[in-house]
C-alpha cells in the first residue's frame, strides 16, 4: 500500500546553489547527501516533515553527474524543475508487481538502490498521465506500515 509522499524529485544544474535557495527561502535543512552512480546524480534530501506511519517526506534535489543519465537528458530538454514524484510503501516489490498487473510499465525488473539505502523503482511517465512516478521502500525497519 502506498502510504505517503516520500519525496518530490527536482532537477537542478547546481546542487549547492539550489540547496542554498531552499534553506534560505524556506528554512529546509539538508538531511542527507549522496552520489548515486547508477542513476547518474548527486543529490540532497531536505526533510520536510515526519508522517503518521513513522516515515517522512522530503524534497530530493538532483544534479546530473553526466549528460546521458535520466536527469541530464530531462534538464537538457526542459530546464530545471519538478522531475518526478515518489510514493512511500513498505513493500515496493508487491506494490510494483500489482501496478504492473494493471498494465503500467514498471521500469525495473527488480527494485534498485535508492537514496539512504532505500529500494526504488519507477513507473513510465507515459503510462501515468505525464508524471514520472517512483515507488520507495525506506531502509529503516518499522518506518512504514502495510
Ligand atoms: N517526467 C515526465 N515525462 C518524462 C520524463 C519525466 N521526468 N522524462 C521523460 N519524459 C517523457 C519525455 O518528455 C518523452 O516524451 P515525448 O516522447 O512526448 O517527447 C518520453 O518521456 C521519452 O523521454 P526521453 O527524453 O526520450 O527519455 P527516455 O525514454 O530515454 O527516458 C525514462 C525516460 C522515464 C525511461 C527515464 O527518465 C528513466 O529511466 N527514469 C527513471 C530513472 C530516473 O529518473 N532516475 C533519476 C532519479 C533518481 C532518484 O530519484 O533517486
Ligand atoms: Co527520487
Q: What CATH number does the domain containing 130 carry?
A: 3.10.180.10
Q: Which range marks the domain in which residue 14 is found?
A: 2-137
- Does a structural domain hold residue 145? no
Strand pairing class (112-113; 81-89): unpaired
Which residue carries 500489482 as its cell? Answer: 98
Q: For ligand 2, a single-atom ion, which residues have Cβ within 5 Å?
A: 9, 60, 86, 134
Which DSSP string corresponds to 7-47?
EEEEE-S-HHHHHHHHHHHH---EEEEEEETTTTEEEEEEE
Q: What is the pLDDT along the chain (146 residues), one digit of tens a residue?
A: 999 999 999 999 999 999 999 999 999 999 999 999 999 999 999 999 999 888 899 999 999 999 999 999 999 999 999 999 999 999 999 999 999 999 999 999 999 999 999 999 999 999 999 999 999 999 975 555 44
pTM: 0.96
| Number of independent structural domains in the chain | 1
Closest ligand 1 atom to 7 CA: 50
- Does a structural domain hold residue 143? no
- Does a structural domain hold residue 142? no
Amino acid at each position: 500500500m502506498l502510504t505517503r509522499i516520500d519525496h518530490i524529485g527536482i532537477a537542478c544544474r547546481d546542487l549547492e546553489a539550489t540547496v542554498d535557495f531552499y534553506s534560505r527561502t524556506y528554512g529546509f535543512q539538508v538531511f542527507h547527501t549522496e552520489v548515486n552512480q547508477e542513476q547518474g546524480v548527486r543529490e540532497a534530501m531536505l526533510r520536510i516533515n515526519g508522517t503518521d506511519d513513522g516515515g517522512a517526506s522530503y524534497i530530493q534535489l538532483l544534479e546530473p553527474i553526466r549528460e546521458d543519465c535520466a536527469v541530464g537528458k530531462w534538464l537538457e530538454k526542459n530546464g530545471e524543475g519538478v522531475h518526478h514524484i515518489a510514493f512511500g510503501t513498505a513493500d515496493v516489490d508487491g506494490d510494483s508487481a500489482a501496478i504492473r498487473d494493471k498494465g503500467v510499465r514498471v521500469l525495473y525488473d527488480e527494485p534498485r538502490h535508492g537514496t539512504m539505502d532505500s529500494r526504488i523503482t519507477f513507473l513510465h511517465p507515459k503510462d501515468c498521465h505525464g508524471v514520472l512516478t517512483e515507488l520507495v521502500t525506506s531502509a529503516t525497519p518499522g518506518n512504514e506500515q502495510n
